[in-house]
Chain A
Amino acid sequence: GDSVTQTEGQVTVSESKSLIINCTYSATSIAYPNLFWYVRYPGEGLQLLLKVITAGQKGSSRGFEATYNKETTSFHLQKASVQESDSAVYYCALSDRAGGLSGKLTFGEGTQVTVIS
């Protein structure tokens, strides 16, 4: 089946420092997956942070960037300088570009990011 792996369950980073959250995927049943990063702030639902639907392309939003690397099957999330307001849980996810009947998302485990001052 399809899967998404985030190796870091929790990350603590100092304000103004850089952040990288690793994400790798396996899409055995999907030829061309769409890739997403979702964020969940405390007390809120998941929000779409960015998405990329074409291999080799980069997505960006709110200072975050992620590049769709089909060769390494990775979609790492990066930010050059984090702020306390970036403290949240970040989820990597994929879906079938064709949509399929369900259009479901397959999620990674999530990474809790805590930014300290």
Chain B
Amino acid sequence: EAAVTQSPRSKVAVTGGKVTLSCHQTNNHDYMYWYRQDTGHGLRLIHYSYVADSTEKGDIPDGYKASRPSQENFSLILELASLSQTAVYFCASRAQGANTEVFFGKGTRLTVV
């Protein structure tokens, strides 16, 4: 069973502080993703990576950085957290190929106060 593990599962951060969300996959997948979900909206892509040591911008990258130090790990970094970044964040992974299944983590609920 493919596994994507996110940590922490929940976090409260102060405005202006630095936040790091971590994601670890044991699927041996090349692709990893960070999505965010806001109430009443679908998941939107922030950053993704298709190989270690390289990241790409998604649809809403502003205010976020990503890091992929190894194939298994993919972090999302908020250097200066803002109230508007309160959301649920999902990490996902998939194997290379056009129709491969995407596997999601359980999500991290981030509240910025």
- Which of A43, A47, A104, A108 touches B33 (beta carbons < 8 Å)? A104
Q: How large is the interface on B (under 10, 10 to 19, 20 to 34, 35 or more residues)?
A: 20 to 34
> How many residues does chain A have at the interface if contact means C-beta atoms less than 8 Å apart?
26
B104 engages A104 (CB within 8 Å): no
Given contacts A45-B106, A99-B98, contact A104 B42 (CB under 8 A): no
A97 engages B99 (CB within 8 Å): yes
B40 engages A109 (CB within 8 Å): yes
CB distance from A52 to the nearest CB of B (A): 11
Cα–Cα distance between A103 and B31 once the two chains are bound (Å): 9
The chain B residues found within 8 Å of chain A, CB to CB, are: 4, 31, 33, 35, 37, 40-45, 48, 50, 56, 58-59, 90, 92, 94, 97-107
The chain A residues found within 8 Å of chain B, CB to CB, are: 4, 9, 34, 38, 43-48, 53, 91, 93, 97-99, 101-110
